[in-house]
Amino acid sequence: MALELKVPEVGESITEVMIGTWKKREGDTVAIDDSIVEIESDKATVELPAPTHGTITKILKAAGEKAVVGEVIGYLEPAAAGAAAPAPPAAQPAPTAAAAGTPVVGVTRKEGRTDIGSVSMSPSQQPRVMPAAARVLGEAGVSPASVTGTGPGGRITKPDAVTAAARPAAAVAARPPAPKPAAAAMAPAATGGGPREERYVLISPIRRKIAERLVDAQQQAALLTTFNEVDMSSVMALRAKFKDSFQERYGVKLGFMSFFVRAAVEALRAVPQVNAEFRDPHIVYRDYCDIGIAVGGGKGLVVPVLRNAELLSFAQIEQSIGDFARRAADNKLKLEELQGGTFTISNGGVYGSMLSTPIVNPPQSGILGLHAIQDRPMAVGGQVVVRPMMYLALTYDHRLVDGREAVTFLKRIKETIEDPARLMLEV
């Protein structure tokens, strides 16, 4: 008997998800715990593992479609039960309905809205169209009957639809122009003469949640940014001196982020308002530092959290950040690792950012922005010398943090980075 593949629980209060990439297709054999499909929520991406050895016999939800927790999205025939196909589910998906002679669902745009319509076709001409493909064909105004499907059983997949939608534009571009006056012949050159195609890509749940939270932060908090700069000479010299022995002993490179995490801990202790939360009618102060580290993930920016950063050594910080970065690239971060931070550090310098105003991650009250290190002429001891300098930016919620506290916080960061012995002595 076929096993149902259901959307798993992906986090508290999350009821709707989006189907991501199917790692397996209909007819593929899988081993136990093999990844079958990615499930995307507004907080993280999880993978659905195979519950046993067997064969994927049916896929009910295509990539890009929405589903609810507990919904059946496919079937798996256990290896011991043979390759018999499962009994059809009570609710047939759109492709099967099309094959039975019902209208194929399409998409049309009207007055700025996306409306669902239908394309009537005779049963003998109706191809099996995946829902995501039907959406693309409807937007492009292409009949499914003119598309050759390359999916299982001749299904029209989304890549098939995208190719078919682009074909008319390519044909028009390749058609030789009719003779026209010289003035008219110059018109294509005025527009560049190149392809002007547009691609529609569904917003992923995590990107939608990022957008919502950033807009909420702008609308609900009184955000202000203050700046300072730090001389990186001492940290760079210390790192150059001990980087080889550090990597040999701990198996990880000594980076700059561990210095800034430790400096942030000291600054948060000195200015606890930056580590607090505005929870009307109270202000919640914290005696611990859960510092989020913004990293670029496969689905967008994510902020895994270093729990109790005040208790971590340089090696533990570097090892944790390296692990976060690797798993973020593969969408392997756990949901609980992305929740509950009290302060955030964002390093735009790795991408070459000179200066920026980072946005607070609510309900936090502050975020520290790091930037690129550049050699600049500085006045030191009455002489002009070239030093490796970095701009620092602190965006904070002015409802909790006054300008004096914000400046004091950045000054504390500057002092500990320019004299890293302070980090060892905690002074």
Instruction: Give catalytic residues, as residue numbers.
Output: 398, 402
- Torsion, Cα of 142, 146, 149, 155 (10° steps): 70
Two tokens at 407? 């400046």
Two tokens at 329? 């690239």
Which residue, among 158, 148, 58, 151, has the nearest Cα to 107 in the 3D structure? 158
Angle at alpha carbon of residue 25, lines to 132 and 16, rounded to 5°: 50
Q: How far apart are CA 205 and CA 260, in angstroms?
A: 31
Which residue, among 337, 283, 287, 345, has the nearest Cα to 311 in the 3D structure? 287
In angstroms, the Cα distances linking 375 to 240, 357, 387, 388 are: 17, 21, 5, 4
Answer for the pair 28, 75: CB distance below 8 angstroms, yes or no.
no
In angstroms, the Cα distances linking 413 to 9, 232, 266, 417, 426 are: 41, 12, 8, 6, 12
Answer for the pair 145, 172: CB distance below 8 angstroms, yes or no.
no
Amino acid letter, 315: A
**Radius of gyration for the alpha carbons in the chain, expressed in angstroms and rounded:** 28
**Cβ neighbours around 367 below 10 Å, total:** 27
Residue with tokens 């493909």: 133
Amino acid letter, 59: I
Q: Is the peptide bond before 363 cis (omega within 30 degrees of 0)?
A: yes
